[in-house]
Amino acid sequence: MENSFWIDSTKNIAPKFKSLNKNLNCDVCIIGGGITGISTAYKLSQKGLKVIVLERDFIGSKATGHTTGKLSSQHDVFYKYLVDSKGSSFAKDYLQANENAILDIKNIIDSENIDCDFEFQDSYVFSEEEKEIPILKEEASIINSLGLSANYLESLELPLDIKACVKFPNQAQFHPLKYIYGLANCIIKRNGEIYEKTTVYDIEKKDNVYVTRTDNYTVSSEYVIVASRYPFMKLSGLYFLKMYQSMSYAIACKVDSHNFSGMYINTKEPIISFRYAKDENKNILIVTGNGHKVGENKIQENPFELLENIALKLHPEAQILNRWCTEDCISLDKIPYIGNLSESMPKAFVATGFKKWGLTTSNIASNLLTDLILRKENHYKEIFLSKRFEPIKNREELTNMIKESVSSLVIDKFKIPEENLKDISNGKGKIIDYNSDKIGVYKNENGKVYAVKPICTHLGCLLEFNNIEKTWDCPCHGSRFSYDGTSIYSPAMKNLDKYEL
């Protein structure tokens, strides 16, 4: 997998933090060093609490470092859905929570003097299909009724055949890693601590203390927050039944100039989103989307090709600099879960299910979780209630949740007959049947074979091989493993069993 533009463009300024090397105590232990964990640590440290952040890789290395860098209340065509399913009052509060988040992030940037390329931009959701015209007209009308002045348009200055569009004014974009690096510096100045390359395996409640366990050391705290994109604990809160995982792709291109202003996303699959960014003196075009459910094996062609074609429509001279992919958690009702982790752990909290809009929602989460810990009222508490459990309404949702588990392999060392390998091309992987068992096999470009047990170490789901990213992906809860079985995406923490050939 390639690095994202955000990671590549900050590799010389990224802060470095050591791994946890002793047992520690604090007021709040935060698991996950993405924008949600770092933002919440920043807010809590402002209030004088002693905070420790534990990050499995390096801060911002997963979802935060692989986003579009948009801060927006325009979450696709979403507000008619909210009004129909939750009511106008709910939809208005959801909209206002996101609008407040944009302004709060801007205030933090200004007060802490964080250089992160922040700029206000209008945001557009558009369609190239005439049948979408009434849908977007109605969406604009609903948004205006909720208190935001949105504009319905039927043309844009883009080299695309746009039939209809809704414009959200005064949204924003920034460099997400530069932002959280600035927050991290503030946390350290206020005596908070951040540890990287530190994997958390369990949280244990002992009397009134939570003990967070890593490989060799523990952090004891009065409160704990799971901000690891997907809650890694297997049963707490039953989140494995309340969410599914979606994978999206992205490219960064060098272009000659900025031919338009604003941020854009379309309405229908395949979803495509694009915006500009800056890197020193270079103009950068970011194009993302063309997603699918994690572990879905229907992707036969290179998903980056569609993104590259869009980039070339917008800028025929575009030069591809980066290609990357990312995962997002999506709840059944499309609303994030922010609040208590589970009934049995009253001082443990969670933030997850951001539906691909985590940069804005991270700020909502940081304020809400801070208020919960300080026992202050928060107007948006019920909007994002983590304890809710929406019923599974249809077969599609059910297949997003469940995949058949398979029996364990018992073979430690073996030789796979050549006839089992002849259908696997170099650079490809697949699951083969061997002596009534299933074995995950990958051949690298030179023909070297790697064999793993293709069963997710989280809850035992059968994995699928992603021939684009060369990873074993879990369709149940989004865990991912490299071709040799190394765990690279939670909730699974343990590597796959590997077999000698």
pLDDT 10s digits, 52-108: 999 999 999 999 999 999 999 999 899 999 999 999 999 999 999 999 999 999 999
Instruction: Find the mean pLDDT for residues 279-297.
Output: 86
User: One fold for both 5-66+177-242+334-395 and 118-172+244-327?
Assistant: no
For 302-348, write each residue's pLDDT tens digit.
Answer: 889 999 999 999 999 999 999 999 888 888 889 999 999 988 899 99
Closest C-alpha among 484, 461, 486 to residue 474: 461
Q: Any idea where the domains of the chain sit in the sequence? A: 5-66+177-242+334-395, 118-172+244-327, 418-499
> What does the chain come to in residues?
501
For 348-400, write each residue's pLDDT tens digit.
Answer: 999 999 998 999 999 999 999 999 999 999 999 999 999 887 655 545 555 55
β-sheet bridge partners, residue 320: 253
Instruction: Using pLDDT thresholds of 50, 70 and 90, give the confidence band for residue 429.
Output: confident
Instruction: Find the mean pLDDT for residues 252-270.
Output: 94
- Sequence-separated (6 or more) residues with CB below 8 Å from residue 22: 217
Provide the percentage of residues in the chain whose pLDDT is more than 90: 64
Pairwise CA distance, residues 390 & 188, whole Å = 39
98-102, 210-214, 448-452, 488-492: segment of lowest average pLDDT? 488-492
**Is residue 486 predicted with pLDDT exceeding 50?**
yes
Instruction: Find the mean pLDDT for residues 456-479.
Output: 83
Tell me, what DSSP letter sits at residue 2? P
| Residue 462, CA distances (Å) to 141, 454, 456, 479 in order | 45, 6, 6, 11
Q: Looking at residue 414, what is its pLDDT?
A: 55
Q: Which fold would CATH assign to domain 5-66+177-242+334-395? A: FAD/NAD(P)-binding domain (3.50.50)
Identify the CATH class of 418-499: mainly beta
Q: Looking at residue 411, what is its pLDDT?
A: 42
Tell me what the pLDDT averaged over the chain comes to.
89
Q: Looking at residue 443, what is its pLDDT?
A: 84
Strands 218-226 and 24-31: parallel
The pair of structure tokens assigned to 166 is 């809704």
β-sheet bridge partners, residue 245: 329
pTM: 0.86
The pair of structure tokens assigned to 177 is 């890693």
**Is residue 125 predicted with pLDDT exceeding 90?**
yes
Architecture of domain 118-172+244-327: 2-Layer Sandwich (3.30)
Instruction: Find the mean pLDDT for residues 3-12.
Output: 95
Provide the percentage of residues in the chain whose pLDDT is more than 70: 89
**Is residue 180 predicted with pLDDT exceeding 90?**
yes
Which residue has better confidence, 56 or 412?
56
C-alpha dihedral, 51 to 53 to 59 to 63, nearest 10°: -110
The pair of structure tokens assigned to 216 is 């060799």
Tell me, what DSSP letter sits at residue 496? P
C-alpha dihedral, 12 to 486 to 355 to 211, nearest 10°: -90
Which residue has better confidence, 112 or 299?
112
DSSP for 12-25 reads TT----PPP-S-EE
CA 64 from chain centre, in angstroms, equals 7
